[in-house]
């Protein structure tokens, strides 16, 4: 199944000018548990998906809120010349095709 089939929210945004945060939110514990246990959302898989070193990706599960957060450094500081996504709101796109 695809992540888009079980996640209620998939969004990205700046976490300050130097980092991106991606939030995944789920409607119920069953869907959250499927995503949280999926190797496709592991630190190693996300690093590969985004072309980053594994130690530059943080996966932060938050079961109390039925959410998972990913955080990684931006390639370009928000607003600097060459930045194509000042607010970081387009960085979740690679996750839209992820199979769990």
Name the token pair of 16. 């300050």
Q: Rounded to 5, what percent of the chain is helix, strand, coil?
A: 35, 30, 35
Q: Are 55 and 64 in contact (CB under 8 A)?
A: no
What is the three-class DSSP state of 41? helix
Instruction: Name the average pLDDT for the chain.
Output: 96
pLDDT band at 11 (very low <50, low <70, confident <90, very high): very high
- Dihedrals φ, ψ of 94, to 5°? -60, -25
Q: What is the value of pTM for the model shown?
A: 0.92
Each residue of 30-79: pLDDT tens digit? Answer: 999 999 999 999 999 999 999 999 999 999 999 999 999 999 999 899 99
Give start and end residues of each alpha helix (H) in 1-100: 3-6, 29-37, 43-50
Rounded to the nearest angstrom, the gap between the alpha carbon of residue 94 and the centroid of all alpha carbons in its chain is 9
- Alpha carbons 90 and 66: distance in angstroms, whole number: 22
Looking at residue 75, its pLDDT comes to: 87
């Amino acid at each position: 199944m695809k992540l888009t089939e079980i996640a209620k929210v998939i969004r990205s945004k700046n976490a300050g000018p130097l980092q991106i945060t991606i939030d995944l939110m789920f409607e119920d514990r069953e869907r959250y548990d499927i995503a949280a246990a999926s190797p496709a959302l592991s630190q190693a898989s996300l690093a590969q998906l985004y072309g980053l070193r594994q130690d530059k990706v943080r996966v932060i599960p938050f079961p109390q809120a039925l959410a998972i957060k990913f955080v990684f450094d931006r390639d370009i500081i928000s607003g600097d010349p060459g930045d194509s996504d000042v607010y970081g709101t387009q960085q979740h796109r690679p996750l839209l095709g992820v199979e769990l």
